[in-house]
Structure 1
Amino acid sequence: MHHASPFPLTPPETEDEVVVPARDGALRVIAAARTAGIARVVMTSSYAAVGYTVKPGDHYSETDWTDPHTPGLPAYHKSKVLAERAACDHVRAHRDIELTVVNPTGIFGPQLGDRPSASLGLVRNMLTGRMPVVPVMYFGVVDVRDVVDLHLRAMLHPKAAGERFIAVGGPAVSLFGMARILREHFPAAAALMPSAEMTVEQVREAAKTEPALRDAAALRGRIPVISNDKARSVLGWEPRDVVETIVATADSQIRRGLELPDAGRAAGPHG
């Protein structure tokens, strides 16, 4: 299984800082697997390689590819496209090993180690009042436990060879929508949640000087309809509900010591 690829928290100075290790790293994993006599490589790509080039209707499935030449495309997204393309081309040319690709959307859920991911940090910032305003931005969400499950199915299922599978738990959610979920389930932190949503125009203007907003600017406020039908029908995958995933993300951080106002949250089904 291939899992690692550079994901900088801030945009790199040059695209090659993420493109080269992403592409070459994937090819090294395949080469090492071939040398070891491995029959199948499962590559962790990303939805970034699927749906970041606007198309009419905004419906996306495994047949879609992000065009690496899309104007304003962040370097990370470009790296995932080029790495997945390179891996597919390599396997197709050699025909001596199987490749299955998993394309997760935004990965949330319980925190396993001591270092929170960027997505977990997003939830933490909302709970602690560090994000009073959020850009208009819709994206897919998937639980990390379901991503693991999909990888195992991709490794073992006979029909997974040569296929790619999008990992998404349900309809796209916005940052402001995520804040509403957290506000409902964590009322003690409700006053700290984002209280306003930037417009598409505001995001586009702010992204000129704030690199962290370039991803949101590239999405232009559109609401993608992301299909997980293939993973469900071919592999029997059943992901968790998006609300359950977001709540589990916050719960795990609280269990790891994150303190909310007034000694925590009101008692409830997750308390």
Structure 2
Amino acid sequence: MTGGNGYLGSHSVALLLREGHRVRTTVRSPDRAADVRAALEADGADPDGRLEIVHADLTADDGWDDAVAGCAHVLHVASPFPGGRPAHDDDVIVPARDGALRVLRSARQGGVRRVVLTSSFAAVGYSRKASGRYDETDWTDPADDNSAYVRSKTIAERAAWDFVAAEGNGLELAVVNPSGIFGPVLGPRLSASIGLLKAMLEGAVPAVPPVYFGVVDVRDVAELHLRAMTHPAAAGERFLAGSGEAISFLQMARMLADGLGERAARVPTMELSAEQVREAARTDPALRETAGRLGEVPRLDTGKARSVLGWAPRDTATTIVDTAESLFRLGLVAWPGPGRLPADEGTAAR
């Protein structure tokens, strides 16, 4: 499995070990091996001598043949996710595409039975449809004016399918396309989505844009990968992953308030108008994509994962609250404690 020190990767390693598998996972640099072991300890998963951690970088050929040697399955979870807007789109697109192809070539060479690739809803639903409903037959057009990350997910997944069709020599491919991934964190390295939730809890986000997005629990995404790895019907298929109806940032804030009580006293209670978002996007490139999705409420049809693989995800509110609880548990949210909130903040929360 690639990227065992990442958010989804660490949960996936833990689940595989609990299910009795032997796991070899890659990290981009040797010093990240400690992150893998720390995450497993936080999750309560015991490697019991069944975990091997090796070094392989998606931007280089070295190490991949050895990494997959003797493996029956490969879960390709790792992918670049920029912390900000990259200087050039290819800084994100090329590593995502070429990294996926490196993994697939080594898997084919090593006699791997099946590769499960982590793609994204970004590769499915970022070319707007009038109906707003998306399923596995939909594709984002990489020529559309989307972020480098969105384009990278589409281009990398297309390249993977093309490779298997033309050069796979019997290698099976299954793809998981998650919506926004939330759920318990196992360490201090936070994804962009979790970082935003953390900022909401700390009062750093006074108002939120009226944007809707799908949510899925990281634990359920890990389980879906495992099902796609082993189920005979998963070969050659994409599986869209979402836990329910799309929610807005303001609805997320309300879920936090309902589930956490006083600890959510700093979450935002106001929503920006569409005009305010568009005006801010004129000077803030990071908001350009947000402004382009105003008014759209995507509807994700996840019936395929449920009916074919028997997948049953958690409800969204549970996922959001569990995310916050893990941030408090690990001391990653700056929280002054009961009775020490400023009066205006405590009043606003109610």
Identify the TM-score tier after normalising by the shorter chain: over 0.9
Partner Cα distance (1:231, 1:14) in 2: 35
- SS of the residue corresponding to residue 117 of structure 2 reads strand
Partner Cα distance (1:209, 1:6) in 2: 26
Task: Output the amino acid matched with 2:136.
Answer: E
CA contact (8 A) 1:128 1:189 kept: no
- SS of the residue corresponding to residue 92 of structure 2 reads helix
What residue in structure 1 maps to residue 201 of structure 2? 127
Quote how far apart the aligned CAs of 1:190 are.
4.2
1:32-71 aligned within 5 A: 32-71=106-145
Q: Please state if 1:260 is matched with 2:335.
A: yes
Quote how far apart the aligned CAs of 1:236 are.
0.3
Partner Cα distance (1:233, 1:189) in 2: 38
Q: Indicate which of 15, 21, 27 corresponds to 2:95.
A: 21
Quote how far apart the aligned CAs of 1:69 are.
1.4
What residue in structure 1 maps to residue 249 of structure 2? 175
CA contact (8 A) 1:141 1:242 kept: yes
1:48-127 aligned within 5 A: 48-71=122-145, 73-96=146-169, 97-127=171-201
Quote how far apart the aligned CAs of 1:261 are.
4.2
Quote how far apart the aligned CAs of 1:114 are.
2.5
CA contact (8 A) 1:39 1:98 kept: yes
CA contact (8 A) 2:118 2:176 kept: yes
- SS of the residue corresponding to residue 222 of structure 1 reads coil
Q: Structure 2 unaligned runs (5+)?
A: 1-74, 340-350
Partner Cα distance (1:239, 1:47) in 2: 16
Partner Cα distance (1:63, 1:207) in 2: 31
**Residues 33-80 of structure 1: per-residue CA shift (max 9 Å, x gap):** 111110111000000000011111100000100111113x11100000
Quote how far apart the aligned CAs of 1:189 are.
3.8
Q: Please state if 1:156 is matched with 2:230.
A: yes
- SS of the residue corresponding to residue 101 of structure 1 reads strand
Q: Indicate which of 244, 251, 254 corresponds to 2:318.
A: 244
CA contact (8 A) 1:10 1:211 kept: no
CA contact (8 A) 2:108 2:168 kept: no
Partner Cα distance (1:154, 1:141) in 2: 19
Partner Cα distance (1:129, 1:178) in 2: 14
**TM-score of the pair, normalised by structure 1:** 0.93
Partner Cα distance (1:190, 1:252) in 2: 14
Partner Cα distance (2:168, 2:248) in 1: 41
- SS of the residue corresponding to residue 56 of structure 1 reads coil
Percent of counterpart pairs with the same letter?
Answer: 57
What residue in structure 2 maps to residue 269 of structure 1? none
Partner Cα distance (1:30, 1:176) in 2: 40
Quote how far apart the aligned CAs of 1:220 are.
2.1
Partner Cα distance (1:19, 1:197) in 2: 33
CA contact (8 A) 1:189 1:261 kept: no
Larger radius of gyration: 2
Task: Output the amino acid matched with 1:74.
Answer: S
CA contact (8 A) 1:181 1:243 kept: yes
CA contact (8 A) 1:136 1:216 kept: no
Number of residue pairs matched by the alignment: 264
- SS of the residue corresponding to residue 82 of structure 1 reads helix
What residue in structure 1 maps to residue 275 of structure 2? 201
Partner Cα distance (2:334, 2:168) in 1: 53
Q: Which one is further off, 208-217 or 81-90?
A: 208-217
What residue in structure 1 maps to residue 216 of structure 2? 142
**Residues 72-100 of structure 1: per-residue CA shift (max 9 Å, x gap):** x1110000000000111111112421110
- SS of the residue corresponding to residue 174 of structure 2 reads strand
**TM-score of the pair, normalised by structure 2:** 0.73
What residue in structure 1 maps to residue 34 of structure 2? none
Aligned Cα root-mean-square deviation (Å): 1.5
Quote how far apart the aligned CAs of 1:259 are.
4.5
Q: 1:95 to 1:28 in 2, by over 3 A?
A: closer
What residue in structure 2 maps to residue 166 of structure 1? 240
CA contact (8 A) 2:187 2:330 kept: no
Q: Structure 1 unaligned runs (5+)?
A: 265-271
CA contact (8 A) 1:103 1:164 kept: yes
What residue in structure 2 maps to residue 267 of structure 1? none
Quote how far apart the aligned CAs of 1:133 are.
1.0
Structure 1 runs, 4 residues or longer, greater than 4 Å off: none
